Amino acid sequence: MEFSGRSVVLTGVGREGQVGEAVARAFAERGARVFLVDRQDSEAQARSDALIAAGLRSAALGADLTDAAAVEGLAARVRDATGGRLHALVHLAGGFASSGPVADSDPVVWGRQFAINITTAYLTARAFIPLLRGTRGAIVFFGSEAALPGARVAGISGYAAAKTAVLTLAQAIAQEERDNGVRANALAPTSIRTAANLAEMGPDAAYVTREAVADVVLWLCSEAARAVTGQIVRVR
């Protein structure tokens, strides 16, 4: 899985120890030029600086991905930097919060889960699909095991519903963009061994490693997966 000469945008690459950091490094070590996006410019810059210090190609960009105008501006900056040729978009931005039992839930928490998980995915895909058409590129979304049939979702309906919408978005794009050569797939991972999850859940919980997740993402964006689109890949 070599990505020399290819450009990849990764959203949600912020805090150290999170999955985006590992995915970005995996792409960069295989020759990709990575554009790391986070709401906090300083966080994206820190992750980018670490890659540059290792002799890899990286740039940091800050944007509020719930703001349509900000996302359009982000896409314009990437278009100018790449000559309009983007090879992959990996949308890791999102977040988790328990909304509690539906009857007792806070509409603000529900709305926030939709904003950070599905609205960001929609706006980002909408802005970057035109750049992916020229390269017949790939999009990878991050859903969740909580969005799969039979999952235990009591108390987390906001998160589970938002991630289910992300899976539907991936399916829609796969169908709409098939003739343009753009493929869209989604991961549905169990808990990932990140710094945040370790702090909250402890070291003994069942985790999938960041590196295992990165391997699946890179494969979906590689030439080996050229015929793969509209799939939900469970990672555990």
Structure tokens that stand for 56 in this block:
């890899």
Residue-averaged pLDDT of the chain: 95
Q: What's the pLDDT score for residue 163?
A: 97
pTM: 0.96
Q: What's the pLDDT score for residue 192?
A: 86
Q: What's the pLDDT score for residue 175?
A: 98
Residue 190: pLDDT band with limits 50, 70, 90: confident
Between the alpha carbon of residue 26 and those of residues 29, 99, 188, 203, 229, the distances in Å are 5, 34, 19, 24, 22
- The angle at the Cα of 134, spanning 121 to 183, to the nearest 5 degrees, equals 45
Q: How many CB atoms lie within 10 A of CB 150?
A: 5
Taking only the tens place, the pLDDT of each residue in 130-166 is 999 999 999 999 999 999 999 999 999 999 999 999 9
Percent of the chain topping pLDDT 90: 88
Q: What's the pLDDT score for residue 94?
A: 94
Average pLDDT rounded to a whole number, residues 170-194: 95
Taking only the tens place, the pLDDT of each residue in 111-139 is 999 999 999 999 999 999 999 999 999 99
For residues 228 and 236, give the distance between their C-alpha atoms in angstroms, rounded to a whole number. 20
Secondary structure class of 168 (helix, strand, coil): helix
Please determine, for residue 17, whether its predicted confidence score (pLDDT) is greater than 90.
no
Please determine, for residue 200, whether its predicted confidence score (pLDDT) is greater than 90.
no
- Tell me which of 3.40.630.30, 3.40.50.720, 3.40.50.300, 3.90.420.10 is the CATH number of domain 7-235: 3.40.50.720
Taking only the tens place, the pLDDT of each residue in 174-185 is 999 999 999 999
* Residue pair 182/132 in contact by the 8 Å Cβ criterion: yes
CA-closest candidate to residue 17, choices 45, 38, 40, 47: 47
Q: What's the pLDDT score for residue 194?
A: 86
CB-based contacts of 106, cutoff 8 Å, min separation 6: 99, 100
Residue 191: pLDDT band with limits 50, 70, 90: confident
> Domain spans of the chain?
7-235
Q: What's the pLDDT score for residue 99?
A: 94
Taking only the tens place, the pLDDT of each residue in 26-71 is 999 999 999 999 998 999 999 999 999 999 999 999 999 999 999 9
Q: What's the pLDDT score for residue 144?
A: 94
For residues 188 and 171, give the distance between their C-alpha atoms in angstroms, rounded to a whole number. 13
Average pLDDT rounded to a whole number, residues 2-13: 97
CA-closest candidate to residue 95, choices 68, 118, 75, 113: 113
Q: What's the pLDDT score for residue 37?
A: 98
